Chain A
């Protein structure tokens, strides 16, 4: 990503703001900016540097005191870290959001139909739209789910889809997170801090609120209760304090007023799930689980897991408890399956996808594999079952040795990898030291699917804080910023 055009903006804080061919969330060209960003830039330019630093410190301190942290694995010391926060909000216009909302609604609807189909009749497989072996070879395919009736046919109740913006400003889908997407607590706390630190600026924009998210999530979970449980007992199941997203689990449970439980708090008896309380066992009806399939029931899945609840799957099968998300949803966020999503949308909804996919090479196809192996220095290679920025090769930033290593891995197990062009996704201004500098950003809106599809206007904008970096994951040194969706 070398700047093709270096630009000298007038303001001192912008002297190092270089535009390149990537889409810029604030500027349209030298000195020109998107109209909706004018008051924002004006406001920030008017603030003396010390004042800006003071507010930055106030924001950092607020996160620190609230203990808004995530856990970094593989280190003994200092495992709790603050998620870096950028002060400059990212603004999305009402029209842009309308497209995103439409596209995400379409996508989650189709993916739900797809999951129902592959775990029941399998029409899409019979019709050859998606190859059988792609589904059955998925690491997250659960044959135990075959023929099972899921409440309201909702497989995916909570989904976090990662979007990026291409050079022309168009939003495209980078990946779907259908298992246990995280980050929504940062979306909510970012907003809270932002409102406290820049109240005037916030008021001057008509930003659509997001704080209703936890209530909507609770409503979604409630709508999934098993038949005959009008006042369901809903719990959030966390792997526990050592999980990287533990803060989020505690935050959501507290905001929803539901119990935060771990596997050892739950027991099953006669296919009913109970939680252990000081006054005895209390029946559990809906579990918002933040534990992966693999670890959730040692009887049904991985026997060595100590995070789960023995017998949970049978209770689920008996219809006595609902899980959000359902078992086996991971099939649909397998990165190889991702390539088929546009076809899936057309097949079930007879509509053109509103949000496109990023071009994806399937390495099981010899021709595409050949192409990828010859162009490893230009492409991004991802392991299909991994997340969090692990198991990736970013071609242009890799060494020959790394490319060699991936070539061997691909040859050995082509099903396990996909490749995509290195996309120069959009950049937004961030406060780096004293000045504004552009950094790559993505967007993860949170989609809820219960009685209907609900998406709070906004999402988590993640920032690759290292200059030139394309990796935004919190576990890989990324940060975040508040995302404003305008009401008009």
Chain B
């Protein structure tokens, strides 16, 4: 497979995962906001921004719908949902002959849907800012479209090298996003263990779980009794939940091994070491252990390792030096 093609498939997948994550964060928080006092709004939305990695030039101005508008439609903001969908579609356009017709149709329709002129028309934007129309419907439809795309990807595309790169993109993005999400919530949920639980805290915990589509899955494992430690354990270390960091890293590792099987293991030594180490540390850690140390540092460490994996993939498969390749 051409390096450029692998790179495009990887980014297509990452951007879509990012779009889905941002969409869900907004949807969940707009929803919870309706139950909460305005006093907590500041904290809540600052946390959303933090969970999104503090996008450049995006500030909380005290107006949730304006912030939603920016995070959804502002193409100046490279992390907005619209920017991500445009970037995903652009990447897929470069590899159109490599993906299935169904995939192209689904992604192209989503693109056409979100870039429709009337969606972005002045009136619509203003209505959104003033909270006249609830944006939930729109956000829901975006999430559904991304899910559909993932569905047709899995059922219409060869599960060969290209598909594995799609997996790699999706899960590396997801692992980072979940780690970042836990980081953003850390101060509020785990920072003050002596604090007495009130109603708002419960909403916050639920919000955190919902932001990772984890509420129902959590309840199946731990019942509806939400406790911070269990939430942390679930989102970080659960083996079977698709948005947990551990599950994401397991899936990432699995896809990387398939790719390495095709390309020869010797070249991939560094990558194997990096991803294997991260996988093992998640597989053999206990939540108590992690919570007793510097949690923020730990979560930051996961993100740093993901970044290192990303860079190594790029150097190994996409931007390798010609001399190294000729020598190998």
Q: When chains A and B are docked, how far (Å) is the Cα of A265 from the Cα of B6?
A: 12
* A262 interface hit (Cβ, 8 Å): yes
A253 interface neighbour in B94, B97, B108, Cβ under 8 Å = B97
* A264 interface hit (Cβ, 8 Å): yes
* B307 interface hit (Cβ, 8 Å): no
Contacts of B264 in A (CB 8 A): 279
The interface bits of chain A over 278-291 (1 if a CB of B lies within 8 angstroms of the residue's CB, else 0) are 11110000000000
* A306 interface hit (Cβ, 8 Å): no
Contacts of A130 in B (CB 8 A): none
* A67 interface hit (Cβ, 8 Å): yes
Q: A277 to B1, Cβ gap below 8 A?
A: yes
Q: A241 to B94, Cβ gap below 8 A?
A: yes
Q: B328 to A275, Cβ gap below 8 A?
A: no
Within 8 A of A (CB), among B1-44: 1-4, 6
Closest Cβ–Cβ distance, residue B76 to chain A (whole Å):
16
Q: A250 to B96, Cβ gap below 8 A?
A: yes
A-B contact list, 12 entries, CB within 8 Å: A67-B108, A259-B2, A265-B3, A269-B326, A277-B1, A277-B3, A278-B1, A278-B3, A278-B161, A279-B1, A281-B325, A281-B326
B259 interface neighbour in A240, A264, A267, A278, Cβ under 8 Å = A278
Which 7 pairs, one residue from A and one from B, show the smallest C-beta to C-beta distance? A279-B263, A276-B3, A278-B317, A250-B97, A254-B97, A281-B325, A280-B325
Contacts of B3 in A (CB 8 A): 265, 276-278
Q: B2 to A261, Cβ gap below 8 A?
A: yes
* B105 interface hit (Cβ, 8 Å): yes
Contacts of B132 in A (CB 8 A): none
* B104 interface hit (Cβ, 8 Å): yes
* B322 interface hit (Cβ, 8 Å): yes
* B210 interface hit (Cβ, 8 Å): no
**Residue among A259, A262, A277 with the highest chain B CB neighbour number at 10 A:** A277
Contacts of B259 in A (CB 8 A): 278
Residue of B nearest to A235 (CB): B2
* B262 interface hit (Cβ, 8 Å): yes
Within 8 A of A (CB), among B252-286: 259, 262-264, 267
Residue of A nearest to B93 (CB): A241
What total of chain B residues lie within 8 Å of the partner, measured CB to CB?
27
Given contact pairs A67-B96, A269-B326, A279 touches B108 in the complex (Cβ within 8 A): no
Closest Cβ–Cβ distance, residue A265 to chain B (whole Å):
5
A280 interface neighbour in B6, B104, B105, B263, Cβ under 8 Å = B263
Closest Cβ–Cβ distance, residue A51 to chain B (whole Å):
27
Closest Cβ–Cβ distance, residue A469 to chain B (whole Å):
30
* A204 interface hit (Cβ, 8 Å): no
Q: A275 to B2, Cβ gap below 8 A?
A: yes
Q: When chains A and B are docked, how far (Å) is the Cα of A259 from the Cα of B95?
A: 11
Closest Cβ–Cβ distance, residue B237 to chain A (whole Å):
31
Closest Cβ–Cβ distance, residue A233 to chain B (whole Å):
12
* A65 interface hit (Cβ, 8 Å): yes
Q: A269 to B322, Cβ gap below 8 A?
A: yes
Contacts of B2 in A (CB 8 A): 259, 261, 265, 275-278
Q: B325 to A67, Cβ gap below 8 A?
A: no
A278 interface neighbour in B6, B94, B328, Cβ under 8 Å = B6
Contacts of B263 in A (CB 8 A): 278-280
Task: Spell out A's residues near B (CB within 8 Å).
Answer: 65-67, 240-241, 250-251, 253-254, 259-262, 264-265, 267, 269, 274-281
Closest Cβ–Cβ distance, residue A278 to chain B (whole Å):
4
Q: When chains A and B are docked, how far (Å) is the Cα of A259 from the Cα of B322?
A: 20
A265 interface neighbour in B4, B93, B97, B262, Cβ under 8 Å = B4
Q: When chains A and B are docked, how far (Å) is the Cα of A7 from the Cα of B142?
A: 57
Q: When chains A and B are docked, how far (Å) is the Cα of A260 from the Cα of B5?
A: 10
Contacts of B318 in A (CB 8 A): 276, 278
Closest Cβ–Cβ distance, residue B263 to chain A (whole Å):
4
Q: When chains A and B are docked, how far (Å) is the Cα of A329 from the Cα of B317?
A: 37
Within 8 A of A (CB), among B277-328: 317-318, 320, 322, 325-326, 328
Given contact pairs A262-B4, A264-B4, A275-B2, A281 touches B322 in the complex (Cβ within 8 A): yes
Residue of B nearest to A278 (CB): B317
Q: When chains A and B are docked, how far (Å) is the Cα of A350 from the Cα of B261?
A: 61
**Residue among A262, A267, A276 with the highest chain B CB neighbour number at 10 A:** A276
Contacts of A261 in B (CB 8 A): 2
Closest Cβ–Cβ distance, residue A157 to chain B (whole Å):
22
Closest Cβ–Cβ distance, residue B313 to chain A (whole Å):
10
Closest Cβ–Cβ distance, residue A3 to chain B (whole Å):
42
The interface bits of chain B over 234-259 (1 if a CB of A lies within 8 angstroms of the residue's CB, else 0) are 00000000000000000000000001
The interface bits of chain B over 84-110 (1 if a CB of A lies within 8 angstroms of the residue's CB, else 0) are 000000100110110001001100100
Residue of A nearest to B7 (CB): A278
Contacts of A260 in B (CB 8 A): 97
Besides the known contacts A240-B94, A280-B263, 7 further A-B residue pairs in the complex with CB atoms under 8 A apart: A251-B97, A260-B97, A276-B2, A276-B320, A277-B3, A279-B263, A280-B320
Q: When chains A and B are docked, how far (Å) is the Cα of A280 from the Cα of B104?
A: 28
Contacts of B326 in A (CB 8 A): 269, 281
Contacts of A269 in B (CB 8 A): 322, 326
B328 interface neighbour in A250, A251, A262, A280, Cβ under 8 Å = A280
Residue of A nearest to B101 (CB): A66
**Residue among A240, A260, A262, A267 with the highest chain B CB neighbour number at 10 A:** A260
Residue of B nearest to A259 (CB): B2
Contacts of A279 in B (CB 8 A): 1, 262-264
Q: When chains A and B are docked, how far (Å) is the Cα of A275 from the Cα of B2?
A: 7
Q: When chains A and B are docked, how far (Å) is the Cα of A276 from the Cα of B1?
A: 8
A276 interface neighbour in B4, B262, B267, Cβ under 8 Å = B4
Closest Cβ–Cβ distance, residue B266 to chain A (whole Å):
11
Q: When chains A and B are docked, how far (Å) is the Cα of A281 from the Cα of B2?
A: 9
Residue of A nearest to B161 (CB): A278
Q: When chains A and B are docked, how far (Å) is the Cα of A202 from the Cα of B215?
A: 59
Q: B104 to A67, Cβ gap below 8 A?
A: yes
Q: When chains A and B are docked, how far (Å) is the Cα of A281 from the Cα of B93?
A: 24
Contacts of A66 in B (CB 8 A): 101
Contacts of A253 in B (CB 8 A): 97
Q: When chains A and B are docked, how far (Å) is the Cα of A233 from the Cα of B263?
A: 19
Contacts of B320 in A (CB 8 A): 276, 280
Contacts of A254 in B (CB 8 A): 97
Closest Cβ–Cβ distance, residue A277 to chain B (whole Å):
6
Contacts of B267 in A (CB 8 A): 280
Contacts of A265 in B (CB 8 A): 2-4
Q: When chains A and B are docked, how far (Å) is the Cα of A51 from the Cα of B295?
A: 69
Q: When chains A and B are docked, how far (Å) is the Cα of A278 from the Cα of B105?
A: 27
Closest Cβ–Cβ distance, residue A264 to chain B (whole Å):
7
A267 interface neighbour in B93, B317, B322, Cβ under 8 Å = B322
Closest Cβ–Cβ distance, residue A306 to chain B (whole Å):
14
Q: When chains A and B are docked, how far (Å) is the Cα of A158 from the Cα of B47?
A: 60
Residue of A nearest to B91 (CB): A241
Contacts of B104 in A (CB 8 A): 67
Contacts of B322 in A (CB 8 A): 267, 269, 274, 281
Q: When chains A and B are docked, how far (Å) is the Cα of A451 from the Cα of B105?
A: 40
Contacts of A280 in B (CB 8 A): 263, 267, 320, 325, 328
**Residue among A65, A264, A269, A278 with the highest chain B CB neighbour number at 10 A:** A278
Within 8 A of A (CB), among B141-169: 161
Residue of B nearest to A276 (CB): B3
Q: When chains A and B are docked, how far (Å) is the Cα of A262 from the Cα of B94?
A: 10
